Amino acid sequence: MYKKLHLLYVGNYADEFLQLNQKLEKAHIWFFVKQVSSVDQLKEVFVYNHFDILIINNQGKNIVKRALLDDNLSEKIARIPLSINLANREIKEVIQLIKAETNEVLPYKIKFRESETGKSKAEKRSLEFNFFNGSTSNEVFWKRTFLNHSAPMFVIEEDNGRIMNTNLAASNFFGIPIAELSKKSISDLWIGHRPKKGIKQILLNEKNTKLKQVKTASKRIKHIELYSNTINFKDTEALLVVLSDVTEKIKAKQDLKTLGQQLIQRSNEIDNFVYKVSHDLRGPLCSIEGLLNLMELDMKDETSLKYVEMISDRVKKLNQFVYSIVTYSENLNAKSEISEVNFRNLLSDFLKEFEFHKNIQKVQIKKKLEDEFVFYSDINRVREIIRILLSNALQFIDSNKKENKIFLKIQTKQDKCIIEVKDNGIGIENMVKAKIFDMFYRGSEISEGAGLGLYILKQIVNFLQGNIIVRSEDRKGTLFKVILPNKADLS
């Protein structure tokens, strides 16, 4: 009688594990090998596997050492007949050792190696390591590994799924006596489709894991995962099926999904509220701003005029804040519309927009456009990127310098667009660089905004699947480089 040799490789070296597989195949050894790289995996793998040889490396030695502190694991590891330290041997030596142990063949029983003390473990135990052969030569071993195992387990026929043996945990799980369970097919326990044939193909599909619903004797619906493995039971090919109750896990996933949907709904409601309120505020603010402008024209008293200018300045800041909120909300909610971006027209519009900026007369703006390739993207979002970058550069000029300069360069390529805005303004201190894209963060005392500009910039660039590069030196200047993908294929 011959059996497949079961090896357990303990270690995390993928190349070493691959070499072991390849050389075992080349040596014409009929084998099954499993890799684990943690104590938790080592615990799990013993649930429905048995092993004839333990192969470890130095990292694996530490895992096994920690596992031996667990009494249950210690017993299972101790039952593995042969232990090989791969760190001290080449893989080819391991192959030779296996062949020597089995006399060039793989018999049904694997001999135990001598222990370090010279006493043969074979003299102490006579175990048939494929313990699901139905032998009762070691009742203690059989009870611990199957009958009294904490996980519900079945031994079933491969084709029709008839239950050949089961354990107390399965009886307790379903609320059905063992004798009654033994009269059923495993598919009789499922809810829904109950196949009578081809059980092996069903259970071994999808990496040996199947999610099913079952009904217990108390009519409770439970979700289970089935883990299956081919074994030998009473000289017959059979399937060992281990059940894992995932009812709470499924419920938690469903609860999480429901909670996620509720959060999305609340978020949308908040976004719509903010957008509506912001729009409703802009109308009155624009009216107030217009009235203040008229008052400035008619007012001759200098003190009153000063107060009006102060009010007008505060209204402009509030209006700018509301505009930022509206822009942020639009960026979140507006659908992306891909079209050709005409940078020449955009730059012309910006020069007009910033014509009355308070710092426009104090700075020299140079621009360079290299638009050899046609660039496609969301034009409204690209416009906002350039507006934020120019607005920032204008706001943070260095009043102590004789000349303030802003250099705008736009370069289109076949696959991307590069937008650069460089200035010689006050720069960014190293200690605040990591925070400049945070919401409501104002990194300078002269900042007049609400701290939303660069936050919105980052959100837009992320939305367009681009990148931002920032280089800055305190009191020397700042460079913002935005790289956006050319979405010509989506136009």
What count of Cα atoms within 13 Å lies in the side-chain half-sphere of residue 374?
A: 7
Residue 490: count of CB within 10 angstroms of its CB: 10
Domain with CATH 3.30.450.20 in the chain: 141-245
pLDDT of residue 316: 77
458 pLDDT tier (thresholds 50, 70, 90): very high
Domain with CATH 3.40.50.2300 in the chain: 5-128
Residue 56: count of CB within 10 angstroms of its CB: 21
Phi and psi of 475, rounded to 5°? Answer: 70, 5
- Reported as a single tens digit per residue, the pLDDT across 96-117 is 777 665 444 333 333 333 333 4
296 pLDDT tier (thresholds 50, 70, 90): confident
pLDDT of residue 142: 58
Query: Which of 48, 3, 55, 63 is CA-nearest to residue 33?
Result: 55
Query: Which of 154, 158, 149 is CA-nearest to residue 47?
Result: 149
Domain with CATH 3.30.565.10 in the chain: 337-491
Superfamily assignment of 141-245 in CATH? PAS domain (3.30.450.20)
**% helix, strand, coil for the chain, step of 5:** 45, 25, 30
Q: How far apart are the C-alpha atoms of 46 and 60, rounded to whole Å?
A: 16
- Reported as a single tens digit per residue, the pLDDT across 241-281 is 888 888 998 899 888 888 888 888 887 777 777 777 776 77
Which CATH number describes the domain made up of 337-491? Answer: 3.30.565.10
Give all strands of the β-sheet with 31-36 in edge-to-edge order.
31-36, 5-10, 53-56, 82-85
Residues pairing with 227 in the sheet: 209, 242
Q: What is the pTM of this model?
A: 0.47
Q: How far apart are the C-alpha atoms of 171 and 94, rounded to whole Å?
A: 43
The answer to whether 369 touches 410, Cβ cutoff 8 Å, is yes
Q: At a CB cut-off of 8 Å and minimum separation 6, what does 402 contact?
A: none
Domain with CATH 1.10.287 in the chain: 252-334
292 pLDDT tier (thresholds 50, 70, 90): confident
- Percent of the chain exceeding pLDDT 70 equals 86
The answer to whether 271 touches 332, Cβ cutoff 8 Å, is yes
DSSP H or E stretch at residue 366: strand 363-370
pLDDT of residue 477: 92
The torsion defined by the Cα of 424, 429, 433 and 439, in degrees rounded to 10, comes to -90
The answer to whether 414 touches 486, Cβ cutoff 8 Å, is yes
- Reported as a single tens digit per residue, the pLDDT across 134-174 is 443 445 555 566 777 788 889 888 888 899 988 888 999 99
Indicate the class that CATH gives domain 5-128. Answer: alpha beta
- Reported as a single tens digit per residue, the pLDDT across 48-99 is 677 888 888 888 888 888 888 877 788 788 778 778 888 777 887 777 777 6
CA 120-126-131 angle, to 5 degrees, is 130
pLDDT of residue 486: 94
Which CATH number describes the domain made up of 252-334? Answer: 1.10.287
Q: Which two tokens stand for residue 261?
A: 């949907």
Sort 469 into a burial class: Cβ within 10 Å, 0-12 / 13-18 / 19+. Answer: exposed
> Higher pLDDT residue, 119 or 376?
376
DSSP 115-148: PTTS-BHHHH----SSGGG---TTHHHHIIIIIT
Q: How far apart are the C-alpha atoms of 154 and 162, rounded to whole Å?
A: 10
pLDDT of residue 113: 35
- Percent of the chain exceeding pLDDT 90 equals 19
**Single-letter amino acid, residue 65:** K
Q: Which two tokens stand for residue 143?
A: 């009870």
Q: How far apart are the C-alpha atoms of 124 and 138, rounded to whole Å?
A: 12
